[in-house]
Structure 1
Amino acid sequence: MVVGLSDNATKLSAAHKKYFGACPPANTTWGVTVLGLPFMMVEICAIVPLDAPKKP
Structure 2
Amino acid sequence: VALAQLVQVCLRNSIAVIDCQLPSRHLQSLGARAIPRVQFQALLREHVDLETLPLAIP
Q: Do the two structures share a fold, i.e. TM-score over 0.5?
A: no
Q: Which has the larger radius of gyration?
A: 1
What's the TM-score once normalised by structure 1's chain length?
0.29
Return the TM-score normalized by structure 2.
Answer: 0.28
